[in-house]
């Protein structure tokens, strides 16, 4: 479902966006130095399912990794995703454990 969609980093609103069938999924963030704090995950009910959430989060994490940033997940849903995907734990800053 996310294959044809394009991930947008909306710097003005400080959120990653993915539009699917006129519905906007987003992850709000705060950028400080070389760390990005993922603060809120918002997925409309019409497109919300476990597969979509995982794919959306994976796209965001790949984008962040390409930029060489560390990730601090402050949202419970995003922290759960990191816990269940060991490959993204390496993106956590030193001293942050999930």
- Whether the per-residue pLDDT at 3 is higher than 90: the answer is no
Supply the Cα-derived Rg of the chain in whole angstroms: 13
- b/e code 51-65 from CB counts within 10 Å (16+ = b): ebbebbbebbbeebe
| Domains, the chain | 8-91 (3.40.630.30)
pLDDT by residue (tens digit) across 42-96?
999 998 888 899 999 999 999 999 999 999 999 999 999 999 998 999 999 888 8
pLDDT higher than 70, residue 24? yes
pLDDT of residue 5: 76
Mean pLDDT score, 21-42 = 95
- Res. 4 pLDDT band, cuts 50 70 90: low
Q: What is the pTM of this model?
A: 0.90
pLDDT of 2 strictly over 90: no
């Amino acid at each position: 479902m996310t294959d044809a969609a394009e991930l947008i980093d909306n710097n003005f609103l400080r959120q990653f966006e993915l539009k699917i069938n006129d519905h906007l999924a987003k992850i709000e963030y705060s950028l400080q130095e070389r760390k990005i704090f993922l603060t809120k995950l918002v997925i409309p009910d019409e497109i919300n399912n476990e597969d979509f959430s995982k794919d959306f989060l994976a796209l965001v994490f790949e984008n962040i990794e390409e930029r060489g940033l560390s990730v601090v997940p402050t949202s419970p849903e995003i922290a759960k995703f990191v816990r269940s995907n060991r490959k993204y734990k390496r993106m956590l800053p030193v001293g942050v454990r999930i």
